[in-house]
Amino acid sequence: MRAGAWCPGFCFLKKWFQANFLDVLQGDRNMQLQPGLYRHYKGPHYRVFSVAKHSETEEEVVFYQALYGDFGMWVRPLGMFLESVEVDGEHVPRFALIEAEPSLFSRT
């Protein structure tokens, strides 16, 4: 899938997410992670939408989608998303930015 392509039904998902969860998003304020296309260290690609806060713990989590298989939606703690992992004795980022994209869930 090319970087700018969206899976079917994305527009509905975006509107639903904005209507139900925009108030918990951090948007671009103090964001340590850029929205965009990322490659996992094992190879698959993912699209990062935003950073949000867990409603109970206020832990920052990354909201992202697999760009393969069933295009599943995921959240992962921000610290874990940004950390490095050891592969064959070398430290590599768990997720590496391929292409930055504008935030889909900005308040403006």
Least Cα distance to 66 among 48, 54, 82, 53 occurs for 48
Residue 16 pLDDT > 70: no
Classify residue 17: in a domain, yes or no: no
Residue 50 sits at the vertex; the CA angle it makes with 47 and 56, to the nearest 5 degrees, is 125
For the stretch 31-78, pLDDT in tens is 478 999 999 999 999 999 999 999 999 999 999 999 999 999 999 999
- What stretch of H or E contains 61? strand 60-66
- Give the pLDDT score at 89: 94
Residue 18 lies in a domain: no
CATH classification of the domain holding 67: 2.30.30.320
- State if pTM tops 0.85: no
Q: Which domain holds residue 79?
A: 25-100
Question: Is 60 contained in some domain?
Answer: yes
CB 16 within 8 A of CB 73: no
The answer to whether residue 62 is domain-embedded is yes
Flag whether 93 is in a domain: yes
**Count: domains in the chain:** 1
The SS3 assignment for 52 reads: strand
In a domain, 107, yes or no: no
